[in-house]
Structure 1
Amino acid sequence: MPQPLNTFGDAMTTDVLIEHRREIADLKQRIKNRQLQVFGLFATPIILVAELLAWASLKILFWLRSDTPSAINEINGGIALFLGLAVVVQLVAEFSEEFDVWRDRKTSVRELKLKLSLAEERHILEARRRTPPASDRQASYKERLPGEIMRLRQESQHYRRVHLLMQWLLFVSSAAISAVTAWYDPPQPAKGALIGLGFTVTVITAAAGYFKPRERAFNLQQTADSIEQHATALELGIAPYNATEEAKNLELFATTVEGLRAEQRMREQQLDQPQQGQQQVI
């Protein structure tokens, strides 16, 4: 008879690991928020002082013996007032005991990073202690693949749209250059339009050659199709996943998919390299 599954223990393991991930994600967000808060505390007074100095410099350089225009005074006064209010609000949020607005006030970013390191270490130790068998991990790996396939296809569609947009802009700009040149003879009234269209054609051509959105879209779509093909073969139990033992099929499937993902990353790296570097790699 098959052994009963320890569903209670599995559920506890899952809940513990999820809780660790939530704690890590929360600390990462808190670190980002705290970095912005500390930046505002230090940067806002500096910007306020710089703005006041700039206001005074304008007065000394241009209107030393006369009155400063009211528009200049209004603009600089409004900016100074806004920055002053921002300084006061941030100081109150940081040091006031009555207003608990900031979650990590009076806490350094270094302390939060230390908490994050400890949380990640606890997560690693807990995951190592509660690591399920390889067959279970391979089965869960198979269940995560639909999301990976969807991500690859979305990125492929994004690069395909970028490629199509660049091509249409290139077509329209190239045709417009000929049309404007033929319409104006000599082309003096449309000189600015011709310069702009020629600039657009040059930029689009250079961007398409450098970023290669068509090649990226093709590679992503090819990887997604290959992974989906292997997932379907595993689901149907056909070659090469027709072994009698499910564990062997899962192991072969995980190895194959990781190989496909490694090939995709290598192709992305080759596209990011200059043309000379690509020829050396090839």
Structure 2
Amino acid sequence: MHSIVKLIGLIGVPLLLLSLIGATALTWRRYDMAPINTFGFVVAVALGIGCLAFIENFDTGQPWFVDDNGDRLQHEDSVAELKLDLDLAEEKRVLAASKVARAAFDRQYSYRDAIPREIDRLRGESASYRRWHNLLQWTLIIFSAAITGVTALYDTPQPGKGILIGLGGTVTVITSVMGYFKFKERGFNLQQTADAIEQHVTALDLAIAPYNLGDEKENLRLFAENVEALRVEQRKREQQLDQPHQGQQEIV
């Protein structure tokens, strides 16, 4: 999410301003671009401020917490201090775990209890990717239709040419973003993995195949193996999506 907002702020806003400048240069002394420039400038400023506010609130490394009165407050520690605290906490956890050796059955049972949270996380990320895909897809459809409408309405080159330049540039950016981030594919893979893991959870709870061995320890061991195999497969699919087309073929 952070990277997408940064991409919009760093590319979308300058592209919009450049489109306005290009349209103004093409229509100089032939068409009054002042209303369109004013509207576009206001949109660019609002978009830039919105992206900046999002980044400042969510990507500064300063986590939020809720006090006793229910108010959201920002942590006063720096990012370096928080990372140090996290490293120290991890070392303490490792030391405590080494002193208290748990049986494999206990670890597998705890693993089973943590799976519902993992399913919720996968589905939450899947829903987020689907929302981004649908938003960009509808924007692409609307702007593509607008290009056809502007072409049909304006017989003269101006001001239709300037509007077409802005619409075409926006369509190009949206298409590139969708092709780079692959929101639809990522959302589908996450949802598929969540559904598969939930199927194993249901089978374990109902003691049906393949978890009808009669031995609870053996069932939990088999369940952990199957779920981990699904998670490994999910990570491989994510790596394939991060690779260029040629790299994907080599991985497969």
TM-score, length-normalised on structure 2? 0.65
Hey, what does 1:196 align to over in structure 2?
166
**Deviation, structure 1 residue 119:** 4.6
- Secondary structure at 1:181 match in 2: helix
Aligned: 1:121 with 2:121: no
Hey, what does 2:230 align to over in structure 1?
260
Hey, what does 2:56 align to over in structure 1?
none
> Whole-Å Cα distance in 2 between the matches of residues 172 and 207 of structure 1?
16
Hey, what does 1:137 align to over in structure 2?
107
- AA aligned opposite 1:166: L
- AA aligned opposite 2:152: A
**Deviation, structure 1 residue 104:** 8.1
After superposition, the CA RMSD in angstroms is 2.2
- Cα gap change, 1:139/1:275 in structure 2, threshold over 3 Å: closer, same or farther? same
**Deviation, structure 1 residue 103:** 8.4
- Secondary structure at 1:244 match in 2: coil
Hey, what does 1:270 align to over in structure 2?
240
Q: Which has the higher contact order (CA 8 A, sep 6+)?
A: 2
Aligned: 1:211 with 2:181: yes
Q: How many residues align?
A: 176
**Deviation, structure 1 residue 193:** 1.4
Hey, what does 2:58 align to over in structure 1?
none
> Whole-Å Cα distance in 1 between the matches of residues 142 and 222 of structure 2?
50
Aligned: 1:279 with 2:249: yes
Percent identical: 61
- AA aligned opposite 2:105: S
Residue number among 205, 217, 241 corresponding to 1:235 in the alignment: 205
**Deviation, structure 1 residue 208:** 1.1
TM-score, length-normalised on structure 1? 0.59
| Deviant stretches of 4+, over 6 Å | 102-105
Structure 2, unmatched stretches of 5+, are: 1-74
Q: Deviations over 1:21-63 (max 9, x none)?
A: xxxxxxxxxxxxxxxxxxxxxxxxxxxxxxxxxxxxxxxxxxx
- AA aligned opposite 2:179: G
**Deviation, structure 1 residue 187:** 3.2
Hey, what does 1:226 align to over in structure 2?
196
Hey, what does 1:185 align to over in structure 2?
155
**Deviation, structure 1 residue 178:** 0.6
- Cα gap change, 1:127/1:249 in structure 2, threshold over 3 Å: closer, same or farther? same
- Cα gap change, 1:241/1:195 in structure 2, threshold over 3 Å: closer, same or farther? same
> Whole-Å Cα distance in 2 between the matches of residues 184 and 149 of structure 1?
52
Structure 1, unmatched stretches of 5+, are: 1-101
Q: Deviations over 1:148-207 (max 9, x none)?
A: 101100111111111111110111111000100100002311222111110111111111
Alignment of 1:76-95 (within 5 A): none
